């Protein structure tokens, strides 16, 4: 069952959009929206300026209700990215209306440098925030891969800027503010496009909403680059195909909102294996050297070197590389610490970790109870069912012992079929009650290879009622366990001896 199918649509509150709270219908709405957009884009080059304005505004405004549909379909705790996208579209449309107002009503050559530019910048912030939120949700288990993708994508963006966009903008004498805005936009779009592409490549299922979102970001990047290359700064005229690229981007965002899979898009994605191999290290090193190499190539070719970009890009990429290496190192250290402290079969603390916890409790002067538990009849089970059967039994014993304890108590696999329990701040009476719970837990047969198996246990119980260290306390519990084993009857069950 998919995440989408798991949404309880009938239980969702009914509001003014009552019909949209039901299980979303098939592709009808998406196909109608796509048909409208494709028709509007196809006729755009053949329209007059006024007709183009109407066409552009109709298609851009149509994206808003499409994203509203996706917002309503999304569970309440996952709506933040959709709110960001909706805010971005509202800001974009406000900017579009303002731009056309200045051009057609105010007779200005362009809406650049007006309130329209403010709305456009605000929309970019909302769009980036929405995309980043989606990346953070979907890729939270693939942080390393996302960092790698961001580094590589930003390196590509730096090459595009240095060899393609910057020379042209300088040639047409674009304002410094315009150059900075274009540079920042290109770097942010390439970084987010890299992250979304990583999510797309690591997805283990087809999520159409993710494909549409990647297409939207790619078209936005293509639109920014195309406008920077073909539009004369301060001029309101531009080739029709530049607007058509942006309209295609609007269409992709709308399809993302209408796609039923938008619910799955906002859920955590798979966790690919994060192995920083030699090849990936070399790849990251090349990405780190990309911008300095671009600067060197520009110097050798006799062109001006964008020193500010070189400094900023290096300052942005270097921390990402260091963060990537630190993330892999810290994860490997965490795994090593876990392997050194926990039993791989039962996932219980091992002997070394138990001794550390016991010593810490004794050093704090806290009363402790130690139970040393040895299974009776385990060898017969191991001989009959083999080591896999014995492992099944040990795992079940560990689970039952853990259920008998209080929060904060420790059960450890000491070795073989021996388990040790540490209870801090426990009185002798409470320890007796714990032994009774363990006896009750062992009465129910265990399942080994789908067959019922009954075993017993001998338990030695000690309290730290005298001056002794952790090792001595464990030795006393061990001795008490052996007395219990000698005293117990030859029937399955649990017998406890107190030292």
Judge if 357 and 488 occupy the same domain. yes
- As to burial, measured by CB atoms within 10 angstroms (0-12 exposed, 13-18 middle, 19+ buried), residue 143 is middle
Judge if 263 and 392 occupy the same domain. no
Q: What is the DSSP letter of 409?
A: -
Q: Are 469 and 483 in contact (CB under 8 A)?
A: no
Residue partners of 472: CB distance under 8 A and separation at least 6: none
Residue ending a domain, choose from 302, 336, 370: 336
- The ranges of the chain with pLDDT < 50 are 1-26
Judge if 301 and 388 occupy the same domain. no
Strand 418-424, strand 446-448: pairing: unpaired
Judge if 299 and 265 occupy the same domain. yes
The full DSSP string for 19-49 is: GGGSPP-SSHHHHHHHHHHHHHHHHGGGS-H
Whether pTM exceeds 0.95: no
Listed in sequence order, the DSSP H helices in 139-273 are: 143-160, 166-171, 176-202, 208-230, 240-258, 262-265
Residue ending a domain, choose from 275, 306, 336: 336
Judge if 115 and 256 occupy the same domain. yes
Instruction: Establish if 394 belongs to a structural domain.
Output: yes
Instruction: Establish if 455 belongs to a structural domain.
Output: yes
Looking at residue 166, its pLDDT comes to: 79
User: Which is nearest to 196 in space by CA: 88, 269, 248?
Assistant: 269
Residue partners of 77: CB distance under 8 A and separation at least 6: none
Instruction: Establish if 1 belongs to a structural domain.
Output: no
Judge if 435 and 308 occupy the same domain. no
Looking at residue 250, its pLDDT comes to: 94
Judge if 392 and 418 occupy the same domain. yes
- As to burial, measured by CB atoms within 10 angstroms (0-12 exposed, 13-18 middle, 19+ buried), residue 214 is buried
Q: Are 434 and 463 in contact (CB under 8 A)?
A: no
Task: Name the domain count of the chain.
Answer: 2
**Alpha carbons 430 and 423: distance in angstroms, whole number:** 10
Residue ending a domain, choose from 301, 336, 371: 336
Q: How far is CA 41 from CA 249, 310, 384, 388, 409, in A?
A: 11, 39, 74, 65, 67
Instruction: Establish if 152 belongs to a structural domain.
Output: yes
CATH of residue 484: 3.30.70.270
Instruction: Establish if 50 belongs to a structural domain.
Output: yes
Judge if 221 and 88 occupy the same domain. yes
Q: Are 420 and 457 in contact (CB under 8 A)?
A: no
Looking at residue 143, its pLDDT comes to: 73
The full DSSP string for 264-291 is: HHTS----------HHHHHHHHHHHHHH
User: Which is nearest to 9 in space by CA: 267, 263, 268?
Assistant: 263
Looking at residue 464, its pLDDT comes to: 81
Three-class SS of residue 114? coil
- CA dihedral sign, ordered 202, 208, 210, 214: positive
**Alpha carbons 435 and 461: distance in angstroms, whole number:** 9
Judge if 367 and 415 occupy the same domain. yes
Judge if 331 and 355 occupy the same domain. no
- CA dihedral sign, ordered 144, 148, 154, 158: positive
Sheet with 410-415, edge to edge strand ranges:
410-415, 418-424, 368-376, 456-463, 494-498
Instruction: Establish if 178 belongs to a structural domain.
Output: yes
Instruction: Establish if 490 belongs to a structural domain.
Output: yes
Judge if 180 and 267 occupy the same domain. yes
Neighbours of 436 (CB within 10 A): 13
Looking at residue 315, its pLDDT comes to: 67
Instruction: Establish if 122 belongs to a structural domain.
Output: yes
Q: Are 404 and 413 in contact (CB under 8 A)?
A: no
Q: Are 434 and 423 in contact (CB under 8 A)?
A: yes
Looking at residue 301, its pLDDT comes to: 65
Domain containing 267 equals 9-336
End-to-end CA distance of the chain: 54
Judge if 307 and 384 occupy the same domain. no
């Amino acid at each position: 069952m998919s995440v989408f199918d798991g949404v309880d649509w009938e239980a969702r509150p009914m509001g003014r959009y009552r019909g949209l709270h039901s299980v979303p219908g098939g592709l009808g709405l998406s196909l109608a929206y796509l048909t409208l957009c494709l028709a509007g884009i196809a006729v755009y080059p053949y329209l007059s300026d006024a007709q183009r304005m109407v066409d552009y505004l109709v298609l851009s405004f149509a994206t808003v209700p499409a994203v509203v549909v996706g917002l309503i379909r999304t569970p309440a705790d996952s709506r933040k990215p959709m709110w960001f996208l909706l805010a971005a579209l509202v800001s974009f449309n406000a900017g579009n209306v303002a731009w056309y107002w200045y051009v057609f009503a105010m007779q200005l050559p362009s809406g650049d440098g007006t309130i329209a530019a403010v709305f456009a910048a605000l929309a970019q912030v909302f769009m980036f925030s929405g995309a980043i939120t989606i990346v953070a949700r979907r890729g939270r288990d693939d942080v390393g891969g996302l960092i790698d993708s961001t580094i590589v994508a930003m390196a590509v963006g730096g090459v595009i800027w240095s060899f393609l966009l910057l020379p042209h903008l300088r040639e047409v004498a674009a304002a410094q503010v315009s150059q900075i805005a274009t540079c920042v936009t290109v770097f942010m779009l390439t970084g987010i496009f890299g992250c979304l592409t990583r999510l797309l490549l690591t997805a283990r299922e087809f999520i159409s909403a993710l494909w549409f979102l990647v297409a939207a970001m790619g078209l936005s990047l293509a639109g920014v680059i195309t406008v920077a290359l073909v539009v004369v700064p301060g001029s309101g005229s531009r080739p029709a195909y530049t607007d058509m690229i942006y309209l295609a981007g609007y269409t992709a965002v709308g399809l993302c909102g209408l796609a039923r899979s938008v619910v799955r898009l906002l859920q955590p994605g798979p966790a690919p294996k994060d192995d920083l191999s030699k090849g990936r290290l070399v790849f990251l090193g090349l990405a780190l050297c990309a911008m300095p190499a671009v600067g060197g190539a520009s110097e050798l070719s006799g062109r001006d070197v964008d020193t500010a970009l070189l400094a900023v890009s290096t300052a942005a990429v270097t921390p990402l590389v260091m963060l990537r290496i630190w993330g892999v190192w810290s994860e490997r250290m965490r795994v090593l610490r876990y392997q050194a402290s926990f039993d791989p079969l039962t996932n219980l603390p091992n002997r070394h970790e138990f001794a550390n916890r016991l010593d810490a409790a004794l050093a704090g002067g806290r009363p402790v109870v130690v139970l040393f538990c040895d299974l009776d009849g385990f060898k017969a089970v191991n001989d009959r069912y083999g080591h896999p059967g014995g492992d099944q039994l040990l795992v079940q014993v560990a689970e039952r012992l853990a259920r008998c304890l209080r929060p904060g108590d420790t059960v450890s696999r000491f070795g073989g079929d021996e388990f040790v329990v540490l209870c801090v701040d426990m009185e002798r009476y409470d320890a007796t009650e714990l032994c009774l719970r363990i006896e009750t837990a062992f009465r129910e047969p265990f399942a080994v290879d789908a067959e019922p198996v009954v075993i017993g246990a001998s338990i030695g119980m000690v309290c730290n009622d005298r001056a002794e260290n952790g090792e001595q306390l464990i030795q006393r519990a061990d001795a008490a366990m052996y007395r219990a084993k000698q005293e117990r009857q030859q029937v399955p069950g649990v017998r406890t001896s107190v030292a």
